[in-house]
Amino acid sequence: MGDAERGRHRGVGGRSLTGLIERGAELKGELVAFGQSSRFERWLTHLLVEAAGPEGLLDEGEAIRIVDHFVLRYRLPDGSTVVDRFVAGRKDLTAADRDMLLGWRDPVEGIFEVQRKEKDAVVLLNLVDDLEYRTYSNVGRAAFRGVSKGSFLHTCVVPVHAGAAGGAWLVSGAMSSYPGSSAAEIAQAAVQLATSRPELVFRNPQKVEQGWQAMREDRAAFVEFCGGDELVLPPAEAEDLLNAYYRHRQEAAAAGRPGRARSSRLPGLDWPFFELPPQLAGADTVGVIYDQVDGLNFYGDYGMLRDLFTDPALASRRQYQDLLRTYLREEPIGPLPIRRLAAAHPHRADIVFRKLLRKPGFTWSEHGEALLRRRKPWYYANEPRPGVSVIGDRLSALAAGRRQSPSTRP
């Protein structure tokens, strides 16, 4: 037995990997029962009813996924999770138990291709983050019966233990399997997941730098095509411009691949590429800002907000005050638009915020950043990530219809 194989069997704290998996099964069962108890019923019931929709239909797999998400990741009103409360209330847990449970708060969601089987485990390639996961089940190898090399799984995995050798992972929640013949549909779903939730891609550190580079290139192309990195347009014009830009980018990419048809489209996307969210479509104007760090963002009634910083006398009007409060209060809106306008009109920004906050001594240069940190702590709590997802080589190959064996990956 080699050192790597011995490491997989050693586990952590004197407990074998098999022992850790068995203990994980016990703890997961207790955690789920705790999460389904009456103390959390109102929150879990709301999630299940919402997912069931007006018809009240919810299949077993989706129900399991919702429960799993609830106990591991759902934020309760005080900011804690069910697993946080479980650990805090169980004084009998060992340090290894606590570490295992707390390590589950950040599961890896993905669409996986089965690379190979290794005794009780399967080695999975996550098509979203392009990383491999040696994965076990707390019910043993029977969970992977019928799973073959080249097939696909949609599931979440959690670490067996943060210190477990060999990077061992456990299936968490529901696991859906698909045959290798469904590669085209799987690739489309993986591309959509990667583009809609780029944080899943950036679990891979290599993808972070690739993402920054891709975003720098995309931003430069945007500025060249649109004439600047900040635009204020009516919603319909903003949609038309963005669709024209994406069409331009696609045609440029196709021109750089002479071996492919110029009419080919990006995998998983179709015309139109871009539609504004409903809450922005009804605005008088939309601000389109492509920032070097925050990426491409859209802001409702940004023209009205810009008018406020151009003419601080407007700060005495209720509708302008309410709009600025919305920009300060709403969580989806980061500090970027206010920073931009304050940087462009520093002295007028002082007047605007003195009127809004009723603080005659307020100056943006001295107090502005502290104000944003108080109002938007969620933004500063997270490390910046690129706004552009980077698709891995294997997913690109599957999306293009190339089905070479997983074992031939470089």
Classify 285 in phi/psi space as left (phi over 0), alpha (psi -120 to 50) or beta.
beta
- Total number of residues shown for the chain: 410
Question: Is 170 within 8 Å of 137 (Cβ atoms)?
Answer: yes
The tens digit of pLDDT for each residue in 169-182 reads: 999 999 999 999 99
Distance (Å, whole) CA 73 – CA 268: 28
Distance (Å, whole) CA 364 – CA 346: 7
The pTM of the full predicted model, rounded to 2 decimals, is 0.73
Percentage of the chain exceeding pLDDT 70: 89
Tokens encoding 146: 């019928």
pLDDT at 268: 40
Which of these, 165, 131, 172, 190, lies nearest to 28 by C-alpha position? Answer: 172
Identify any residues that bridge with 114 across adjacent strands, giving them in sequence order.
124
Confidence band for 199, pLDDT divided at 50, 70 and 90? confident
One-letter amino acid identity for 86?
Answer: F
Q: Is the dihedral of CA 149, 23, 96, 2 positive or negative?
A: negative
Percentage of the chain exceeding pLDDT 90: 71
pLDDT at 140: 83
The tens digit of pLDDT for each residue in 56-70 reads: 888 898 999 999 999
Q: What share of residues in the chain are helix, strand, coil (percent, to 5)?
A: 55, 15, 35
Question: Is 260 within 8 Å of 254 (Cβ atoms)?
Answer: yes
Q: Quick one: which H or E segment has residue 354? A: helix 346-357
pLDDT at 405: 53
Confidence band for 119, pLDDT divided at 50, 70 and 90? confident
pLDDT at 381: 87
Sheet strand arrangement including 286-291: 230-233, 286-291, 295-300
The tens digit of pLDDT for each residue in 77-111 reads: 998 999 999 999 999 999 999 999 999 998 999 99
The tens digit of pLDDT for each residue in 265-284 reads: 444 444 447 888 888 988 99
Question: Is 390 within 8 Å of 207 (Cβ atoms)?
Answer: yes
Overall average pLDDT of the 291-302 stretch: 96
What three-state secondary structure class fits 320?
helix
Distance (Å, whole) CA 200 – CA 81: 20
